[in-house]
Structure 1
Amino acid sequence: MTRRALLLGARTYDLTGVGADVAVMERLLGDRGFTDLRVRAEGGATYHGMAEALTRLAHDTRPGDAVVVYYSGHGALLPVPPYLRRHLPGGPAHLQYLVPDDHGHSTATDFRGLLAEELTAALRRLTRITPNVTCVLDCCHSGGMVRDPRRWRIKSVPSDVPVEAGVDRSVRLATAPRMPDPDVVRLVACQRHGLAYEYDGQGLFTAGLAKALGDFRRTAVPWSVLISRVREHVRSSEALQRPDAGGPSGRLPFSLDVPEQPERLELRAVGGALRATGGALFGLDRMDRVRLVFPAAGEAPAPTVETQVVAVDGADALLDPPPGPVPSGSYALPVRVHTRHPVHIAVDGPLAGLLRARLAESPRLREAAHEDEARSRVRVTKAGLEVTDVRGLPYRHPWRVPELTVEQSARARAAVALLETVARGERLRELVDPGADGLPGDLRATMEVEKERDGHEWRVFREGDGLRAGDRYRVGVSTGAHTPLYAWLVGVGLSRRTSLVTRDQPSGIRLEPETWAGGGTGWRSGPVEVWWPEDVPTDGERPESVLLLVGDRGLDLGPLGGSARHRRWEPTALRALLDEVCEGVRDSRLPAAAEGLRYRVFAWHTMVAPPSS
């Protein structure tokens, strides 16, 4: 059995980190026993070069081999022009493709983009030989914005090359299976309409993947666990990018083995402390809960007991030991794990101790081990005590730093309360769309921006568009179905506060028959103004997010906008959603998803410029 890898790196347009990405993957795979490493980069990743390399890889692969196909570069998702769609009925609505080195040399008769259909066909040729195939794509498929052009690069590119030949090629491939091969593990930098970034000369996704594989070098965990660590790395950069793992992601890396309980943690009693080995690598920290599973006696079910994580020591989680001895062969399973917002404290003296003590009391915040891991920073400047984002822009105007300890304690309390607000806003911004399971598949949502104030003309908001304080937008949703559906409009403002925009109807607005909905049902909001709060400095652009939730029943989602939760009367169907956003908790003990609210999430993210002086 040979471990083979094809590493493709197309450094086109303004990318700078492709060479570093390929070098990282070459080193990482070499350390994991890959002996047949093929590299197409530095001008060698042309369209024909990539296609030929994929063909040669399939020719040389043998049954039982482990194969990796990796790509770093630009990705594109382009709408097919209407005139081509009219002349080619049954053709694709979009061209989705990887961008080779010679993409810019495309002509009307020679399109130089590696289509998604061509990549799918190449992977199918490999899985006919061996089922152990992993495809890693560090690129994105839609355009967007770059927060800091000095350090950020987006891995998607708008195309002005002729696409006629590409559409024709896609039509000719239409008879091939379009669904992904079920044997291929697919590791992608973002979702289909999402964004992927490189930062400081390296792809965020590739850097996160390398770190996750390094962290778990001695611990066998599947891709489904590793991808959560990759997401944590990407989140720490504040990029709105969500990596994902598709296909048989329950496999161990570069293997066909599938562990039954991937989060099973070995228990060790050392010096009077009960340790869950490697628990910190799975995200466990103080105040999280685990279930201890003891060896079964005969046919009886294995006895269990829950306990709490009291501290972290290196990679291990230290547990509150249960009464009595822990039998040999016992293990722990995480059951209630918090998502923690990492904070860097750049403060000295008594105030630093007060801040750390307050931080330790929150299960939703943690002190970052390194400044680069932080999503927020607390510092003292000439202006006073500031809480800033990763770019150094303060969330609020600075507070004066008092000399008296009692007043410093109040400042520390206010700073941590602000961090809780920021963390909550980030969790809502990152709320994942669960997909159309149980809901109409034709749900369509759009956000529009007013062209001129009170001009009654609107333009469609597109990913990457910026806004200015005072602009107005509206959101609409429609479907051809007539099943009962409810909508909620939620905002994460540039202050990072969350708000339920439709707070006058917190239990949802029912979609009704509308003429503009094409005979189906729909709802459209009134104009919503982008507001710049007085307590936010006007020293730079700030991110703002608009989220539309559409669900299968009317339930009070007021807590998403900051209103108090009433757990005693809270419907079970809402528990998982509100726990995730409000408390930052993933709880495996909650009822099955079939009992929960079925919902879709449509999100629009933008940068808002401050008001004109």
Structure 2
Amino acid sequence: MTRKALLIGAQTHGLSGVLNDVGAMEQALTPRGFDVQRLVTPYATRAGILDAYEKLAADADADDALVVYYSGHGGRLRSPDGRDLQFIVPDDYADSDEDDFRGITDVELSVLLATLTERTPNVTVIFDCCHAAHMSRQPDRRVKALLRNAPARWRPTYESVEQQVRKLVADGLPIDRRPLIGNPHAVRVVACSPSGSSWETVNRDGVEMGLLTDALSRALRETDGLRISWAALVDAIRREVQTFVASQRPEVEGPSGRQLFETDEADALDGLPVAVDGPDRIRLLGAPLLGVRTGDEFAIMRGDATSSQDGSAMGTAVVTHLLPAAAAAQLRLTPPGQAVPSDARAYRTSAAPPALAVRLPSEHPVTAELVESIVRRPMLRPAEQDVETTVEVTVDEQGGLAVRDEAGPLHLPYRPNAAGVGAVVANLQRIAQATALRRLSGDPSRPLRQSVRTEWGRVRDGRETPLASSGELLFAQADERIFFRVTNEGDRDVFVSLVDIGVSYRITLLTHSDPSGVRLEPGASYTYGWNEDRNELTGVAVSWPDGIDMSAPRPETVLVLVSDGPVDVSSLQRPGVRAGGRSATTRSGLARLLAQIATGATREVGPAPADQVRYAVQPIDFMLSPTPPPTAERAVFLVDERPARPIRLLSPRGASAGKLAVRIAELVVHRNRALGSADIRVDAVVLTGGSGGQPVYRAETMRFSNVRDGDRLPMDNVLIYHGPAEDFLDIAVWVSRDTTGSLALSSLLEERLTDPVVHGAVAEVAGLAMSAPHAAVAVALMGAGAVLVNTAYELLTGVVGPSVGLYRTSLLAQEQFGIGRHVRHPQDFSFTFCVDEVA
């Protein structure tokens, strides 16, 4: 038997940690006996990846262990009816055109995987990429998905790529070799769900890497020699990743009960090896990676025992603290004085609640009181110096205490006295409970067999607009209303509960009238937001809690808990940060987990009874903004490549590229039918955040006479903007018939600067930039851009008649403001523009 690994890294479109990802995986796999082949930028092209994949399959033998790993961008295209087409982004993706799509689709990847598993059943594939482009305000985090589905020369659509896939099938792609429901022979580790995001950032060692790869490579190195399952390993990886980004949830698909890189099954938490440190001290090797926590209890067994249930325990051990790759435990032998054999193993019998690490002020009169109060809470612990944490207690200039997370302060400061400390610690406890609940996932050893479909979306005038399960942006305004719908598509009853984790970490049972879950028969649906009195879908309002800082949007999560039996989740409900628990005992694993989150008590661990409830957890993550939504644009363009609104509004502010020059390099009029005139004008508006967030814009008009079909207009790289760029660079271009005596767009806009709407939009941004929260500034900037473009369109229509919106985009700082040459092909036109950095 040989072990082979193909490690692919396409470091494109702004990513900078991909090559480090590949290096880390090589260091993790080589000690496990893998022969590693690297395929990285600039050689990770479509053809290069396909050739390497096919060669790996051709050279494989039946008893080989194979690994395929990919780090880079992912892409996702959706059809109007909601179907998905996902793809990875090779080095030459930007060379795609309508006849040659250079992405590698999920259809092709599944066929390649089927080819591998036909040669050997021992296959592991790992994808550190995502297929939904979401954004974070943390400037050091980059999403591993394209911010826009637009390569340099051509914009793919679901229909165009699907057509190319059909052509591949017609040319011989053996699509019928794919399993209908997943590949039963391949373990598939993915960074997130299809609608989720994966991220790269600087890790604890100061190295730029993907969060999944960093956690996975560390876990593989630290568990070398241990017998654990993929399900257990990915559960540990998920906890590590969610320390940085709560909404990224790595998953494992396929035969997840397998031992790592083997086909044999391993228990989710098999017995841990024991190392003796003294007469009453031992180490449990690999424990931290398997979810072991301080306070967990273990039964110590001889090596020939099969479990902790056969009555032959030598004694017990309680974990006192965690080491990098082991857990230190206090040992109590029965009877005392026995020698612990070298093959002894430890089996967990009870589990302590997860503890939230909290950074505390190092020098403050009440720090000792904070520590004393926190250590009495089982779900809290003071953060050690090298422990990553997103929650801290801060001190203001007057000595006041406040709890702060990544988005900012959560409340006004409390006085630094006993009452203030009590309030701070109570808030921390609520955050710990909400954090633990956000990390809840299904039991991979007992998956729910029923098929349940979850939908959610906006409601306007009784009409619903579907939304993705991750990355959407909502606004806490009166007319923002949402719904959630769960449909049982299986053949047995299920019980559904909806639990909301709000922006203040408040935990609310939305299905409170059915505390044990809404019972759904096969084919039945439940819609939260349906008005029974009016017999229509009205949705429910979203709101921003009083007293919560309004400087930035905050995450909110709705968990859809689905089980095949009733489970009372009412004990979870908790008020949000500002201002308390009840225990429950049942042999349902889900109920024990929920009760532990609610009370902080330990829970027993052991074999699941035959009738134990099976359950699944489907999270819906979105961002909620405290501001009104920005003004909408009314102008329509043949090509509109602006990133989605959440990406624009949630992108970090303040990034500057110095001075940029934007030029229209070329414009070809293939057919002049839309204008019906030989004399045309081209108008352009460029808008950027400018200095201090105050918008700066420039408008240009170019005129051309006697234009015929096929004419290349003498643009001569005409300059349409030269100046500073900050945060974003908006571009709008129109083509119109020219009329005698019509004013240039710049003059038209100058005449309208006194218009209350236009003047108000610009003045609003100027005022907000100095003092308002970031969220309000971002909304105002987008609104000012919309007002400017709307005004320009109205002015052009008024003086020259109907205009053709040729091109619209918004280039972000994360994309280096699109520096480079861009070729587009709107209907009846060919259009090229350039963005250059200048001194």
* Counterpart in the other structure of 1:56: 55
Q: Distance in 1 between matches of 2:491 and 2:327?
A: 52
Is contact 2:494-2:519 (8 Å) kept?
yes
1:575-600 deviations in Å (ceiling 9; x for gaps)? 33423543578856367365344444
Alpha-carbon separation, structure 2, partners of 1:611 and 1:15: 31
Q: Does 1:381 align with 2:371?
A: no
Q: State the distance in 1 between where 2:86 and 2:39 align.
A: 21
C-alpha change, 1:223 and 1:66, in structure 2 (3 Å) is same
- The equivalent residue for 2:175 is 174
Aligned to 1:579: 595
Alignment gaps of 5+ in structure 2: 150-154, 203-207, 531-538, 575-579, 629-775, 777-839
Decide whether the 8 Å contact of 1:296 with 1:302 is kept in 2: no
Are residue 547 (structure 1) and residue 559 (structure 2) matched? yes
**Alignment partner, residue 537 of structure 1:** 549
Contact 2:297 2:319 in 1 (8 A): no
Q: Structure 1 residues 62 and 488, CA, compared in 2 at 3 Å: closer, same or farther?
A: closer
Contact (CA 8 Å) 1:579, 1:586: kept in 2 or not?
A: no
1:502 corresponds to which residue?
A: 511
1:512–1:522 CA contact under 8 A, matched in 2: no
Matches of 1:111 and 1:359 in 2, distance apart? Answer: 56
Alignment partner of 2:573 out of 546, 558, 561: 561
Residue aligning to 2:85 = 95
| Cα distance between partner residues in 1 of 2:463 and 2:90 | 40
Of the three residues 416, 420, 445, the one matched with 2:454 is 445
- Matched-pair contact (CA < 8 Å) for 1:309–1:320: yes
Q: Is the CA contact 2:496–2:520 (under 8 Å) kept in the aligned structure 1? A: yes
Change (3 A) 1:520 1:232: closer
Q: Which residue of 2 aligns with 1:293?
A: 301
Partner of 1:347: 362
**Unmatched 5+ residue regions in structure 1?**
86-92, 514-518
In the TM superposition, what are the counterparts of 1:338-417 in structure 2 within 5 Å?
338-349=353-364, 351-370=366-385, 373-382=388-397, 384-391=400-407, 393-402=408-417, 407=418, 410-417=419-426
Of the two, which has the highest radius of gyration?
2
Q: Which whole-Å CA distance do the structure 1 matches of 2:300 and 2:621 have between them? A: 42
Match of 1:194 among 196, 215, 218: 196
**1:326, distance to aligned residue in structure 2 (A):** 3.8
Q: In structure 1, what is the Cα distance between the partners aligned to 2:135 and 2:609?
A: 36
Q: Is the 8 A contact 2:358 2:389 kept in 1?
A: yes
Q: Where does residue 154 of structure 1 map in the other structure? A: 143
| Mapped contact 2:215–2:241 kept (Cα < 8 A) | yes
> Which residue is equivalent to 1:316?
327
Task: Choose which of 133, 138, 147 in structure 1 pairs with 2:123.
Answer: 133
Q: Determine which of 348, 352, 367 is the counterpart of 1:334.
A: 348
| Compared CA separation, residues 478 and 133, structure 1 to 2 (3 A) | closer
Distance, in Å, in 2 between the alignment partners of 1:352 and 1:120 is 55
Please state how far the C-alpha of 1:421 moved relative to its aligned partner: 0.6
Partner secondary structure for residue 576 of structure 1: helix
1:221: Cα distance to partner? 4.2
Partner of 1:68: 67
Does 1:602 find its partner at 2:618?
yes
Contact 2:348 2:605 in 1 (8 A): no
**How much has 1:536 moved relative to structure 2?**
1.4
Which letter maps to 1:605?
A: D
Residues 165-195 of structure 1 show CA distances to partners (whole Å, capped at 9, x for unaligned) of 0244368543112344434332221234432
Q: CA distance change for structure 1 residues 578 and 594 in 2, over 3 Å: closer, same or farther?
A: farther
Note if contact 1:295-1:303 (Cα within 8 Å) is conserved in structure 2.
no
Deviation at 1:389, TM superposition (A): 1.4
With 414-423 and 185-194 compared, the bigger mean Cα shift is at: 185-194
Q: Does 1:15 align with 2:15?
A: yes
After superposition, the Cα gap between the structure-2 partners of 1:44 and 1:81, relative to the gap in structure 1 and judged at 3 Å, is farther
From the superposition, tell whether residues 327 and 205 of structure 1 become closer, same or farther in structure 2 (CA, over 3 Å). Answer: same
> 2 CA distance for matches of 1:58 and 1:31?
23
8 A contact 2:448–2:616 mirrored in 1: no
Could you tell me how far 1:466 is from its partner in structure 2? 0.8
For residue 506 of structure 1, report the CA deviation from its aligned partner: 2.6
The CA distance in 2 between the partners of 1:591 and 1:151, in whole Å, is 43
Name the TM-score, length of structure 1 as normaliser: 0.83
Secondary structure at the aligned position of 1:466 is classed as strand
Q: Quote the Cα distance in structure 2 between the aligned partners of 1:610 and 1:352.
A: 33
> Could you tell me which residue of structure 2 aligns to residue 476 of structure 1?
485
Match of 2:466 among 450, 456, 460: 460
Greater shift in the superposed pair: 200-209 or 525-534: 525-534
Question: C-alpha deviations, 1:138-168, integer Å up to 9, x for none?
Answer: 1123x15222252222223353413120244
User: Given residue 15 of structure 2, which amino acid in structure 1 is its aligned partner?
Assistant: L
When residues 487 and 25 of structure 1 are mapped into structure 2, their CA distance, relative to the original with a 3 A threshold, is closer
SS in structure 2 of the partner of residue 494 of structure 1: coil
Give the alignment of 1:189-338 within 5 angstroms. Answer: 189-200=191-202, 201-217=208-224, 219=226, 221-255=228-262, 263-278=270-285, 279-294=287-302, 301-304=310-313, 307=316, 309=318, 311-312=320-321, 314=323, 315-323=326-334, 324-329=336-341, 330-337=344-351, 338=353
3-state secondary structure, aligned to 1:464? strand
Change (3 A) 1:371 1:609: farther
Alpha-carbon distance, 1:344 to partner = 2.3
Q: d(CA) in 2 for partners of 1:457 and 1:223?
A: 43
Give, in angstroms, the shift of residue 543 of structure 1. 0.9
Report the Cα offset of residue 498 of structure 1.
Answer: 0.3
Q: Assess, with a 3 A threshold, how the Cα gap between structure 1 residues 129 and 457 changes in structure 2: closer, same or farther.
A: closer
Distance 1:473 1:224, change over 3 A: closer
Structure 1 counterpart of 2:561, which letter? L
- C-alpha deviation, 1:31, in angstroms: 4.6
| Greater CA drift, 373-382 or 418-427 | 373-382
> What TM-score, normalized to structure 2?
0.62
Distance 1:548 1:153 in 2: 28
Q: CA deviation at 1:440?
A: 4.7
- Relative to 1, partners in 2 of residues 1:469 and 1:303: Cα closer, same or farther, differing over 3 Å? same
CA offset digits 1:44-65 (Å, max 9, x no partner): 2221111011122233445654
Deviation at residue 237 of structure 1 after TM alignment: 0.1
One-letter identity of the residue aligned with 1:10: A
How far does the alpha carbon of each residue in 1:401-449 deviate from its partner, in whole angstroms, 9 at most, with x for none?
24xxxx3xx44433332222112112222332569966652x3322222
For 2:299, give the aligned amino acid: R
Amino acid at match of 1:541: P
Distance in 2 (CA, whole Å) between partners of 1:224 and 1:18 is 25
1:558 CA drift (Å): 1.1
- 1:274–1:320 contact (8 Å) kept in structure 2: yes
Counterpart of 1:473 in 2: which secondary structure?
strand
Cα RMSD (Å) of the superposition?
Answer: 3.5
Distance in 1 (CA, whole Å) between partners of 2:137 and 2:166 is 35
Taking a change above 3 Å as real, the CA distance of residues 24 and 574 of structure 1, as seen in their structure-2 partners, is: closer
Which residue identity is paired with 1:112?
A: R
- The equivalences for 1:490-529 within 5 A come to 490-511=499-520, 520-526=524-530, 527-529=539-541
Question: Is the partner of 2:394 in helix, strand or coil?
Answer: strand
Supply the AA of the counterpart residue of 1:207.
D
Distance 1:595 1:415, change over 3 A: farther
Distance 1:586 1:216, change over 3 A: farther
Number of positions where the alignment pairs a residue of Structure 1 with one of Structure 2: 583
**Cα distance in structure 1, aligned partners of 2:295 and 2:447:** 33
